[in-house]
Structure 1
């Protein structure tokens, strides 16, 4: 298949399939990451302020609550 040969409708259909696949892969990754997290577990992640170190205090379906070493609370995505 050559992308140059596709019609506008075919390109839109392909785009929709690609977007759905990306969403599915991200969901699978999030589920894997969430299954490996435990309350009280030490974690780190990158934020605008730089590297943040903290402890997991709550695990939701789509996010994780972390309290950092400076007692700030962060709601972050699992992936």
Structure 2
């Protein structure tokens, strides 16, 4: 199948399938991260300002509250959070 051969209706249908798959994979990733997160856990994530390091202060179904090293609070999707590894 070549994408150039698809009609507009077929492209819309394909787009809907792709978007549903992306949503499903993001949800699975969020669930995986949420199952590993604990209050007080050290985490990091990328923001416009660069890499942010902080501690989890609240865990919701669709977001995580993190207080960064500079005492700013961030509300971010769980899929963006990376747990700090102990060395």
Partner residue of 1:68?
Answer: 68
TM-score by length of 2: 0.82
Tell me the TM-score normalised to structure 1 length. Answer: 0.90
Please give the root-mean-square deviation of Cα atoms over the aligned residues, in Å.
Answer: 1.1
- Equivalent positions of 1:16-55 (< 5 A) are 16-55=16-55
Report which structure shows greater RCO (CA 8 Å, sep ≥6). Answer: 2
Q: Which runs of 4+ in 1 moved over 4 A?
A: none
| Residues paired across the two proteins, number | 79
Q: CA deviation at 1:6?
A: 1.5
Post-superposition offset of 1:74: 0.8
Cα distance per residue 1:18-67 (max 9 Å; x no partner) = 11111111111111111111111011112222222111010011110011
Unaligned stretches of 5+ residues in structure 1: none
Displacement of 1:4: 2.0
